[in-house]
Amino acid sequence: MTDYLLGLDAGNTVIKAILFDTSGRELAVAALDGQSSMPAPGQVERDLDELWRNAITVIRSCIEKSGISPNDIRAVGCAGHGNGLYALDRAGKPLLGIQSLDTRAAGLAGEWHAAGVGDRVLPIARQKPWGAQTPTLLAWIKQHRPDLYSEIGTVLLCKDFVVGRLTGARVTDTTDMSGCGLLAIPSRRYSAELLAAYGLEDAQPLLPEVLESSDIAGRVTDEVAAFTGLAAGTPVVAGLFDVVASAVGSGVTATGAASIIAGTWSINQVICDAPVDDGRVFMQSSFDRSRWLAIESSATSAANLEWIVHQFMYGEDKPFDKAGDLVASVDAMSDVPVYHPYLYGAPWDGNARAGFYGIAGWHSKAHLMRALFEGVAFGHRGHVEVLRRAGISIRDVTLSGGGSRSAVWPQMFADILELPVTVARGRETGALGAAIAAATGVGLFPDYEEGARAMTAPARQFTPDPDRGSHYARRYGLYEQLAQVMRPVWAEMGRQ
């Protein structure tokens, strides 16, 4: 009998179900896109009943496509987007689903910054409050919707909601809860002092039990088995913050190894033996039972390519491939403009805007496209530099996300970061990481390292070119210099 693992990946919109064997081979995939609502400016919410209906649909579809017996699925693991706020009422029914794209609490985060709240939180949670962070959103609800706050019975993260519906368990895991700033680090426990700093002294009873990611949270109930096609009693592990799952599913499990995700967001994370004591690092999360991830991120990555393709290449056949062809047609060492990838602000300046600088009459669409690809990679380099300044040593990088599928971006990343870059075999790294955690939880592997060794593999490897590295280092200096010059201009634009 062959063992199979079901990995679920619940993003801000799409939920995927993927069935893997213990070599990491994908047997079947099903995905469904959900709907977001915007009840007021800056507010981005989802219907939790729809999320669960979509989860049922993709699980059943995936199992049916695979043609295997549900009894051969050894375990289920789920990854989900971090932060946001998923709340149940006191009867355990869906109450509120706020996505991590929400900005309603940005003003409160600013007020807290001015009042020194971040300085109180940082030594405990190893990150400062920000707009879409779970405790910041919960505090905003408490201040602005006290009627709704009084109805909350449980505060969850996205994948916790799915795990709870599968099993009936009221649990979370250390990766998500540390990543959203609700755990004391390094104890990995709730803290009365931390909750008080957020003004949430009364919130402790609302928080679920904290497990490690590969701990068994519960088992598929009889009712859920009838809906999904899973076998009743199938173990379900607590699951992971999706960026942690993507690292594991990319094969990144060694201390000092870096996982970079070039997706809508720029995710840059390194495994560390101990938490980093540096307030410049955006976020820290647990990785496994003893180690940590230092994480730098911002919405400055492949979202830029998506924007320019949708605006200027709409209707073309295979537009993303054509964008890569345009980049490849321009020599890497040639003169091209500089591009800032700040469509949604910079990590250090919410007023920042995207822009091309230094366009000349001899520049073509291909030159602008190369500038955009470079600018996105420079944005990742900026995050990597923050990690390095915090004393983190980075030996190599594994690249995942949509940008990793490009024919030109991985080599550009290697040259700009001046580090070897590997692209993993699997595309669905979040679901694969969740499946590896599930396999570990039921004893198929002793730990993530063995699981990743068995279920992941490199597909392509790229070595940095020293000449191009020197060229890009000079251009990165211009990129940084221009950003500083533009800051007062961006501030003025923000007042329009």
pLDDT for res 161:
98
Helix 365-389 / helix 319-328 crossing angle, nearest 10 deg:
90
Q: Does 255 score more than 90 pLDDT?
A: yes
**Amino acid identity for residue 182 in this structure:** L
Q: Do residues 31 and 65 touch, judged by C-beta distance below 8 A?
A: no
pLDDT digits (tens, 9 = 90+) for 321-379: 999 999 999 999 999 999 999 998 888 887 889 999 999 999 999 999 999 999 999 99
pLDDT for res 314:
82
- Average confidence (pLDDT) over 5-10: 98
pLDDT for res 351:
84
- Beta strands 283-286 and 152-156, pairing class: unpaired
Q: Does 1 score more than 70 pLDDT?
A: no
Domains of the chain: 4-238 (3.30.420.40), 242-496 (3.30.420.40)
- Average confidence (pLDDT) over 295-305: 92
Q: Does 496 score more than 70 pLDDT?
A: no
d(CA 167, CA 372): 45
pLDDT for res 171:
98
Q: Does 211 score more than 90 pLDDT?
A: yes
Which H helix or E strand runs over 247?
helix 242-249
Q: Which residues have C-beta within 8 Å of that of residue 308, sequence separation ≥ 6?
A: 323, 369, 372
pLDDT digits (tens, 9 = 90+) for 408-425: 999 999 999 999 999 998
pLDDT for res 449:
96
- Average confidence (pLDDT) over 157-186: 98
pLDDT for res 377:
98
pLDDT for res 494:
77
pLDDT band at 315 (very low <50, low <70, confident <90, very high): confident
Q: Which residues of 305-339 are buried (b: 16+ CB within 10 A; e: fewer)?
A: bbebbeeebeeeeebbeebbebbbebebeeebbbb
Q: Do residues 326 and 370 touch, judged by C-beta distance below 8 A?
A: yes
